[in-house]
Structure 1
Amino acid sequence: MSTNAATSEVLLTPAEVANMFRVDPKTVTRWAKAGKLSSIRTLGGHRRYRESEVRNLLADVESGRGAEV
């Protein structure tokens, strides 16, 4: 039986991502719409973000390697 990595990935809410970056949750949604951060839609239509991707982006921003979010 194969295990899908996406099913075991921790997903974060817009509020959790916003807290990590110290921005408003609507800013996180704008980043997703602009393609700066990929999102997954729940069955109810809510956005969720992969924790690993968010942490990588945060590390890039904090180190100055990444483009300004």
Structure 2
Amino acid sequence: MEQKLLGISKTAEILGVHPNTLREWDREGKLKSVKTCGNHRRYKLSDIEKMCEETHKKKDSDEIRVAVYRRVSSHD
């Protein structure tokens, strides 16, 4: 089965980051790209979906942490 691949601009738009962030993530191994014959980066849709899930979980965790902090700090 063939994987659906997206270009760097569309991937950046979906993840809400700058294309340079995707290049950095690729170097770090956080979100690997597939290179075309012309050396263009393509990203697997399945990897993008995983990154969205991880980002969403982190965002939820940060919101809970802020809510707890506010709750504790509101008691004087």
Instruction: Provide the TM-score with structure 1 as the length reference.
Output: 0.77
4+ residue stretches of structure 1 with deviation over 2 A?
none
Larger radius of gyration: 2
- Using the aligned pairs only, state the percent identity: 31
- In structure 2, the residue matched to 1:48 is 42
Query: 1:16-58 deviations in whole A, cap 9, x for unaligned?
Result: 1110121111111111011101111000000111000111111
- In structure 2, the residue matched to 1:31 is 25
Contiguous gaps of at least 5 residues in structure 1 = none
Contiguous gaps of at least 5 residues in structure 2 = 60-76
Instruction: Provide the TM-score with structure 2 as the length reference.
Output: 0.71
Matched, 1:13 2:16: no
- Structure with greater proportional helix content: 2
Alpha-carbon RMSD across the aligned residues, in angstroms, is 1.4
